[in-house]
């Protein structure tokens, strides 16, 4: 069963990169991100996660929280993904050629495009981290609200929906990382 999962993930990565060697190079990072995000999202809906805790100064403090309902974790995962893109880009293109995508003084247009490229790298961090955090946090809030309104039966379809959303979030994070890795390893064309 594990071999089937690994083979399917590798085939998916190869279908995006169109290069078996590059797919094998990206596989450990992308597969780890996918499996980590998937399991963290699915474990976050276990009973007791976010509901068992203690009161401190009239504020409820849960003992266990969903991993991705904490912005620190999603930012850390986004940093790993973006830095890996930079690393693979430098290795594939060379340091000077890769940095040339961001800093180029040949003419005002290429300088402006470089500034936009730099801003897009920072925007990746923000979009990666807040997308995952927002979806997981919203799912938790939805489950808590449904559990308080009508417990036992009504939350069940929403829990199934959270399982599906957890899978989609893991797939989106891993695929965006893969696409950004592929884009970073393509040499910047000069016109």
The whole-number pLDDT of residue 31 equals: 95
- Whether 177 is in a domain gets the answer yes
- Whether 78 is in a domain gets the answer yes
Torsion of CA 129, 132, 137, 139, to 10 degrees: 170
* DSSP-based three-state secondary structure for 54: strand
Contact indicator for 69, 129 with CB cutoff of 8 Å: no
Q: Tell me how many domains the chain contains.
A: 1
Burial (CB count <10 Å: 0-12, 13-18, 19+), residue 9? middle
The whole-number pLDDT of residue 191 equals: 38
The whole-number pLDDT of residue 187 equals: 66
- Whether 61 is in a domain gets the answer yes
What are the mean pLDDT values of the chain's consecutive 10-residue runs (191 residues total)? 92 93 94 94 81 82 82 93 93 89 86 90 90 85 78 79 90 94 76 38
The whole-number pLDDT of residue 190 equals: 47
The whole-number pLDDT of residue 45 equals: 81
Distances (CA, A) of 159 to 20, 34, 69, 141, 163: 37, 20, 16, 12, 6
The whole-number pLDDT of residue 75 equals: 93
Secondary structure of 58-107 as H, E, C letters: CEEEECCCCHHHCHHHHHHHHHHHHHHHHHHHHHHHCHHHHHCCCCCCCC
pTM above 0.75, yes or no: yes
The whole-angstrom separation of Cα 83 and Cα 136 is 23
The whole-number pLDDT of residue 68 equals: 84
- Whether 162 is in a domain gets the answer yes
- Whether 137 is in a domain gets the answer yes
- Whether 190 is in a domain gets the answer no
Give helix 71-93 / helix 155-184 axis angle, nearest 10°: 20
The whole-number pLDDT of residue 178 equals: 95
Q: Residue 83 sits in which domain range?
A: 2-184
């Amino acid at each position: 069963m594990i071999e089937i999962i690994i083979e399917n993930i590798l085939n998916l990565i190869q279908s995006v990169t169109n290069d078996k060697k590059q797919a094998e190079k990206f596989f450990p990072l992308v597969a780890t991100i996918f499996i980590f995000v998937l399991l963290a999202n699915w474990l976050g809906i276990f009973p007791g996660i976010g509901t068992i805790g203690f009161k401190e100064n009239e504020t409820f403090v849960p003992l266990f929280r969903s991993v991705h309902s904490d912005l620190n974790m999603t930012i850390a995962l986004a940093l790993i993904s973006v830095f890996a893109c930079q690393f693979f880009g430098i290795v594939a293109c060379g340091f000077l050629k890769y940095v040339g995508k961001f800093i180029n003084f040949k003419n005002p247009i290429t300088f402006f495009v470089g500034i936009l490229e730099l801003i897009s790298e920072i925007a990746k961090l923000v979009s990666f981290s807040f997308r995952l955090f927002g979806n997981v946090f919203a799912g938790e809030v939805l489950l808590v609200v449904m559990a308080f309104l009508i417990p036992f039966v009504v939350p069940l379809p929403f829990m199934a929906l959270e399982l599906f959303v957890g899978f989609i979030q893991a797939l989106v994070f891993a695929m965006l990382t893969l696409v950004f890795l592929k884009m970073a390893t393509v040499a910047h064309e000069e016109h």
